[in-house]
Amino acid sequence: MARLLHRQGLISLLLAAGALGLAGCGAKAPAAGAAGPGGKPLVRVILQNDWYAQPEHGGFYQALAKGYYRDAGLDVVIDQGGPNLNPTQRVALGTAQFGIGRSDDLMVAAGRGIPVVMVGALMQRDPQAIMVHEESGIRGFKDLDGRAVMTVPGSNFIPLMEKSYGIHLSIIPLDFGLSRFVADKNFVQQCFLTNEPYYVRQKGAHPRLLLLSEMGYSPYRIWFTSKRLIAEQPDVVRAFGAASVRGWREYLDGDRAAADALIQSLNKQITPEFTAYCVAVMHEYKLVAGDPALGEAVGRLDPGRLQSNLNQLNQLNLIGTPLKLADVFDDRFLPEETRAKPPPP
């Protein structure tokens, strides 16, 4: 039910990096598959999802269901994720060519020498939030001082929140459930605004959401790949990006029936009612399409905003070795109209 990522396994991955020489590795070259347009063999590509199939991944499933990946010469397989699966690890070790994650987590991994690069934005703003009960009296982040919060231990936002508001949190490891929240009006936990609020309202709760983006910390949700795939098969990275952007545009504003049917066949917990709620929230908060007035668009990554995010992580000493944005960000493989425009001279 809970849609949150966790970072369990990242530490072991980073330790393995030194032992295995991971910085010199990357995704293995995708294998050729069945024939595609013009009789050319399709290139087999694995996208490692960050959670079970959800409407929050709808654009990728739209591109798959409508044949946009195939039209681009790719045979894409979307592997579902779960609470014990790390997409960064799979991409770095070469068992997947693309993964879904967060820009700040990828920066931390790259700062530890993991050869991964973000190449497109799944969401313009992260839907993560702190969920409290209306009855709790909590109205802002400062009200969390001294509170126990169920979240992913080691999440980057924790030290930033504590430093920004002069507070201290007691962390309860996330159990990916909602029973404790529903049972206790004083319970506080991390959530996705596209997900958990829907379910706790069904149980009679009245959640209030404190969006992490409101505290001046707004990483992207992204898709990423390995440095090796970029170097060896840039056309694959470009084709995947173009088809994914097309899928997302259509999923948001077109006929998404094929993608929804595919998602529901893969995840039996997904109902048409939940899908409608999730898509409505993505529209309301402009999570995927962003705000055109701010220069945002489906798939677009703004280097200025990413640099600001990287600076915040550096100030909190969360980045290992010195990291330049160019080491972990490359938007050359997005459609031209999607790429962020440089500021005027």
Helix (H, G, I), strand (E, B) or coil at 39: helix
CATH class, domain 10-124+219-327, is alpha beta
* DSSP string for 238-267: HHHHHHHHHHHHHHHHS--HHHHHHHHHH-
Q: Examine domains 10-124+219-327 and 128-215 and report if their fold is the same.
A: yes
Look at residue 17 in the predicted model and tell me its pLDDT: 39
C-alpha 6/C-alpha 82 separation (Å) is 9
* CA-to-CA separations, 34 to 31, 140, 237, in angstroms, rounded: 10, 54, 19
* CA-to-CA separations, 87 to 34, 162, 163, 262, in angstroms, rounded: 26, 28, 29, 21
Give me the residues paired with residue 76 across strands.
45
How far, rounded to the nearest angstrom, does the alpha carbon of residue 246 sit from its chain's CA centroid? 18
Q: In this structure, how many other beta carbons lie within 10 angstroms of the beta carbon of residue 120?
A: 27
Look at residue 30 in the predicted model and tell me its pLDDT: 60
CATH class, domain 128-215, is alpha beta
Q: Which amino acid is at 270?
A: I
- The structural domains of the chain, with segments of one domain joined by +, span 10-124+219-327, 128-215
The model's pTM is: 0.88
pLDDT by residue for the chain (345 residues), tens only, comes to 444 433 333 333 333 333 333 433 333 446 656 666 667 899 999 999 999 999 999 999 999 999 999 999 999 999 999 887 899 999 999 999 999 999 999 999 999 999 999 999 999 998 999 999 999 999 999 999 999 999 999 888 999 899 999 999 999 999 989 999 999 999 999 999 999 999 999 999 999 999 998 888 889 999 999 999 999 999 999 999 999 999 999 999 999 999 999 999 999 999 999 999 999 999 999 999 999 999 999 999 999 999 999 999 998 888 988 899 999 999 999 999 999 876 555
Look at residue 83 in the predicted model and tell me its pLDDT: 82
Q: Give 254-258's long-range contacts (Cβ < 8 A, gap of 24+).
A: 256/58, 256/62, 258/62, 258/65, 258/66
Q: Which amino acid is at 161?
A: M
Query: Please, what is the end-to-end C-alpha distance for the chain in angstroms?
Result: 48
String of b and e for 85-98 (b: at least 16 CB within 10 Å)? bbbbbbbbbbebbb
Q: What tokens were used for 157?
A: 């936002």
- Helices 10-20 and 103-111 pack at an angle, to 10 degrees, of 30
C-alpha 75/C-alpha 68 separation (Å) is 10
Give me the residues paired with residue 170 across strands.
148
Note whether 151 and 172 are within 8 A (CB): yes
